[in-house]
Amino acid sequence: MKKTRLEIEEAVPALKLLGDKARLTILGMLKNGECCVCEFTEVLEMSQPSVSQHLRKLRDAKIVKEDRRGQWVFYSLNESYEAYDLVLGVIDHVSDQSEKIAELERQGKRIECK
Amino acid sequence: MKKTRLEIEEAVPALKLLGDKARLTILGMLKNGECCVCEFTEVLEMSQPSVSQHLRKLRDAKIVKEDRRGQWVFYSLNESYEAYDLVLGVIDHVSDQSEKIAELERQGKRIECK
DNA sequence: TACTTATATAATTATATGATTATATAATGG
DNA sequence: CCATTATATAATCATATAATTATATAAGTA
């Protein structure tokens, strides 16, 4: 794991955002690559506006970046984020979320976004 | 760095507590060994009750443990905490707080606790 | 153009959080 | 026992946060 040292003031906003079930799950999903918004709403079983607002916070903080492709918006981890190493480190400590995405795949719910 | 995988539900409460300037500083200070409450209040420049309440949260969550010695209470990281590896990992990403303790030492403000 | 799907935003409201002030407890020294 | 020092707790209040509902935007399609 990398050793980029952050000032407390830089780390706190990132950690504040990580300390939420929805957002930590989102980031866990993104560890395996980009996801589209509809996948988050499926996995999180939350309303679309709620997911959208969590994404906005992560986006405003530069933790994730978005990429609109037609109707869909895909999110991914922003490797240029100052606390990227910290975020990755934390994600590495939580259980893999890829199973949840695989589950979507099985249910054919991932196709819709592609 | 260790690889204890936590469920999202276990990691979130820890991260919530880490996402605060006072508490993250406290944990950064504890990385170098135990500290007594008066040291936290000095370094953080916060009121004693405020510090005490942050310590309570960390204690309730089992992130730190306390050890009363006479008039003073010393805190240290709880190595048995389920998310200890996560906490250590995060602390390793923030700048060293030992300088602040050294500064106390220079000002003779650390002696009072010993 | 109208309709649909995907996503974002805004307003509202309920709950959580943190700081302050006052007070309580616990240990120590006269 | 009383006073002092260190720490904890409780009550209050202001602010932050998250979910919901309604609405807006943006892209695709008939």
Which CA distances in Å does B87 have to A26, A91, A111, B12, B82?
20, 12, 38, 12, 10
Using the CB atom, is residue B54 less than 7 Å from strand C? yes
Sign of CA dihedral A69, A77, B24, A8: negative
Closest residue by Cα to the C1' atom of nucleotide D18? A50
Q: Which of A15, A83, A96 sits opposite B15 (nearest CB)?
A: A15
Query: Is the residue at B3 inside a domain?
Result: no
Domain holding A17: CATH number?
A: 1.10.10.10
Residue B2: what pLDDT?
64
Residue carrying the six token digits 């976004």: A113
Question: Is the pLDDT assigned to residue A3 strictly greater than 80?
Answer: no
- Counted domains in chain B: 1
Residue A98 or B63, more confident: B63
Query: Is the residue at A49 inside a domain?
Result: yes
Distance CA B95, CA B31 (A): 11
User: Nearest-CA residue of chain A relative to B15?
Assistant: A19
Query: Is the residue at A74 inside a domain?
Result: yes
Query: Is the residue at B26 inside a domain?
Result: yes
Query: Is the residue at B97 inside a domain?
Result: yes
Q: Which of A11, A85, A93 sits opposite B85 (nearest CB)?
A: A93
Question: Is the pLDDT assigned to residue B28 strictly greater than 90?
Answer: yes
Cβ–Cβ of B5/A89 closer than 8 Å? no
Region of poorest pLDDT, from A39-43, A107-111, B109-113: B109-113
- The model's confidence at residue A1, banded by pLDDT at 50, 70 and 90, is low
| Residue range(s) defining the domain that contains residue B13 | 8-113
Query: Is the residue at B89 inside a domain?
Result: yes
Query: Is the residue at A1 inside a domain?
Result: no
- The share of chain A scoring above pLDDT 70, in percent, equals 93
Closest residue by Cα to the C1' atom of nucleotide C21? B49
> What is the pLDDT averaged over residues B67-91?
97
Query: Is the residue at B79 inside a domain?
Result: yes
Distance CA B68, CA B74 (A): 6
- Residues B51-72 as b/e (b if ≥16 CB within 10 A, e otherwise) read beebbebbeebebbbbeeeeee
